[in-house]
Amino acid sequence: MSYCRKEGKDIIIFATKEEHQIPSTVTIPEPEKQPGIILSDGSINWNCPCLGGMATGPCGIEFREAFSCFHYSKADPKGSDCLKAFSQMQECMKTYPAVYASKTDDVEDSFDIEDEQDEASASIAKELENDTLNKEIEKQ
């Protein structure tokens, strides 16, 4: 015969050998499937841990606008109509270097990387503009 004894915050249960041989009837529910970045209805899951808090940080509004623009973009190439939103997000992130710091060890290197990223962004933007202009000229 089993019995229980309470010691402080703990409850100690004593069971007989026969009681341990009876199979358990407890059923463990299946774990709920966690939604990813995109929900089943096609909307963005701003609570997804994969965003790493970007949607709620000091530049959360800018991030959400840029990410939404990209997600819903119909432009070719996708997101080419979102350069202004991404530029605004990048400018905001530059004002919070402690929050959005580069993963490099040297602070000086992180500024060099940002400069390179600015140059790369500008280069990509110029290429996209040229491609758009070329496509418009071809249509005429």
- Per-residue pLDDT band for 134 (boundaries 50, 70, 90) equals low
Please list the residues that pair with 13 across neighbouring strands.
4
Is residue 105 within 8 Å of residue 125, measured between CB atoms?
no
Peptide bond into 35 cis (omega under 30): no
d(CA 27, CA 41): 31
pLDDT value, residue 133: 56
pLDDT value, residue 52: 85
- Reported as a single tens digit per residue, the pLDDT across 26-39 is 899 988 787 888 88
pLDDT value, residue 15: 87
pLDDT value, residue 140: 54
d(CA 25, CA 21): 12
Closest CA to 73 of 118, 138, 65, 130: 65
Helix axes 83-94, 60-72, angle to 10 degrees: 160
- Per-residue pLDDT band for 66 (boundaries 50, 70, 90) equals very high
Give the tokens for residue 120: 């790369």
- Reported as a single tens digit per residue, the pLDDT across 82-104 is 999 999 999 999 999 898 876 65
d(CA 130, CA 95): 30
Is residue 10 within 8 Å of residue 23, measured between CB atoms?
no
pLDDT tops 90 at residue 68: yes
Total-model pTM: 0.51
Higher pLDDT, 116 or 111: 116
pLDDT tops 60 at residue 107: no
Which residue stretches of 3-140 are H helix? 17-21, 60-72, 83-94, 107-139
- Reported as a single tens digit per residue, the pLDDT across 8-22 is 999 998 888 888 888
